[in-house]
Structure 1
Amino acid sequence: MYHAVAHRPAEATRGLSVSPDAFAEQLELLGERGFTPVTTAQLGEAWRSGGHRPLPPRPVLITFDDGYEGVHRHALPVLAKHGFAATLFVSTGWLRGAYDEGGALDTMLDWDQVRELAAAGTEIGGHTHTHPQMDQLDDERLRYETVRCREVIADELGAVPVSFAYPYGYSSRRVRRTVRAAGFAQSLAVGNTLARRGQGPYALERVTVRRSTGIEEFERLVEGRAVARNFAKDRALTKGYAVVRRARRAASLIRSPD
């Protein structure tokens, strides 16, 4: 899971950004080690096919969240150099253009750039409209964020998106049901562990690549070594925060009028 790819990212995105040089080095390693990048849609189709659409050797997903401009400027040429597939999950209300509602953390893609990414083979998926914490929304707003995002992408690209990623990685049964009802076939969380079929199509996990991720650590992560140790603190914090988030949601429901 990547976010911004930039030499000088905004402070708000710095920790979850990577430099263009680091990104190029990481993809070079994937190529040298014989990995075959696939899109999220391809993964979902393979796991639903019962073996009729097998995955290639050493499959890996390269995903980008939010829709930062550096994905077009810096990541696309590297992906094209290696012939690698990827998935970009866009928050449609953050992208530059007619639907821009503000709130973006850094310079975002515009729709022409998104179309160029799609034309180059990048899958474009949904990431809500305004990037909220989905598990804290009421039912009406939750449905709006998923349906509006899907409609905007379909209108701009002429193709309905089938994959989704939860902002901040937060979801719940209610959120997952809403994403499915909106028409998405699979969705990604974070979790910082490897994706497995048993997680189900609406709770697939990813591993975070940060600005602090050196090439040796990156190699261990993509090879599936020491993932648990690397992200033990992250997962402990996530579990603790999940309890807090459920309590907040319950409290908001108690305060809400009938």
Structure 2
Amino acid sequence: GSAYGSAIPAIMINTPGSPVAVLTALEAKPFVERGEARRAMSLAYSASFVGGVLAVLALMLLTLPLANVAKNFGSAEFAMLALAALVLVVVGHGGRRVEATAAMAFGLFLATIGIETAFSTQRYTFGLTSLLGGIPLVPLVIGLFAMSEALVQLTAKDVPRPIVQLGGKFFQGFAEVFKYKRTLFGSSIFGIICGIMPGVGEFLAQQVNYVWARKFSSDGHNFGKGAPEGIIVSEATNNSVPPAE
């Protein structure tokens, strides 16, 4: 519920309610501009529902095997998971690997800010107590989107803006998501697998899955431009991870 709830402001006002709604905001904006906000909402909650139900079923049926997998994870496994995620993000961007590497490096730098856990050494805090705990992901991501949207609104020309039409039906998306069965079930299964792995989390799972879904989808060139599959990937993945964690 909370994961889907963050999609509502992401779709309606282009401001994600949590980091896992960033991709939903990206994909939903063109829907809203086309007057199809209700369709985007319907796609989001339908994909969320399917992903969540599949994850709960997997949890019910695979509890014992999952426990055996989790207890075997140590430092080496966590390190390999992190390395694999970094490699997948770069490789998945295809012709934009330089930009992906630069963005990833900047993100890694931000993650180093604060107190490291091995020797409690302060890194890049500059004597500020507010940075001792690092830069929180939620305020960072939401702030970037909220501030950018606010600046866009402030700098826009002072002319009457058309009223956004909701468009579509609330239950339209439940039928539409099954037109993309491979994306829907593939994203849900990927989210469940990431939920099984300790320490991965829905944000990382969603980002990696989105990159690879865009790469292998026949409609991948429309990802980021209002593709239904983009919303399905985002919502199905982030809602299938928590029940399996």
Which structure's relative contact order is higher, taking Cα pairs within 8 Å and 6+ residues apart? 2
Q: TM-score, normalised by structure 1?
A: 0.23
Counting strand residues as a fraction of each chain, which structure ranks higher? 1
Counting helix residues as a fraction of each chain, which structure ranks higher? 2
Q: TM-score, normalised by structure 2?
A: 0.24
Bigger radius of gyration: 2
